[in-house]
Amino acid sequence: MTVNETMTDAAESDPLQRLGFLLARHGAVANSRVHHAFETCGLAARQGTTLMLLGTSGSMGQQALAAALEVDPSVLVGILNGLESAGLVERRRDAADRRRHIVAITDEGRCLLAKAQDAVAEVEQGLFADLSPEEITALRGLLAKVRTTPGDPVCTEQ
């Protein structure tokens, strides 16, 4: 049996059982759940992701932040405006290059981040409750083998 047959056989009965569709659908649900977890903390999805990034890096330039979030720099402005007016992050001028803004997470931001991470962890436990630790490791490994190069266009439309 070839790889192609493995993927198409199961699709004979229902085209939406195709592996590509399955991955897209389960990914959308996972996204939706994480989205909702952030919202319970009063954060928009990408605001939450931004806090997570800043939580490990401490501070980043807006350029790097936009690249990591895969959003246009002009979109990042809106995300940061919300976070900054809530006192969760700070924009500081880079002394070495006064064009740049260094975005840093505040103590208040770290406090909320902790809650957000708990909420996301809870969502994951709900999503993967029926998988054993071994299966979770296996899923992680298999996802890593899916050919999705970092620079890939990621469209979230349905």
97/132 with CB nearer a second copy: 132
User: Should residue 114 be labelled a site residue for a second copy when binding is judged by CB under 8 A?
Assistant: no
Question: Shortest gap between Cβ of 97 and a second copy (angstroms)?
Answer: 26
Which residue stretch of 7-15, 99-107, 108-116, 132-140 sits at the interface with DNA (rule: CB under 7 A)?
99-107
Among 40, 89, 39, smallest CA distance to 77 is for: 89
Other CB atoms closer than 10 Å to residue 113's CB: what's the count?
21
User: Should residue 32 be labelled a site residue for a second copy when binding is judged by CB under 8 A?
Assistant: yes
Question: Shortest gap between Cβ of 42 and DNA (angstroms)?
Answer: 14
3-state helix, strand, coil in the chain (%, to 5): 65, 10, 30
Judged by CB under 7 A, the chain residues 20 through 59 that form the site for DNA are 44
Judged by CB under 8 A, the chain residues 4 through 23 that form the site for a second copy are 4-8, 10, 13-16, 18-23
Q: What is the 8-class DSSP label of residue 56? A: H
User: Should residue 131 be labelled a site residue for a second copy when binding is judged by CB under 8 A?
Assistant: yes
Which of 50, 88, 101, 112 binds DNA (CB under 7 A)? It is 101
Among 124, 62, 61, 52, smallest CA distance to 88 is for: 52
| Cα–Cα distance for residue pair 134/114, rounded to 1 Å | 27
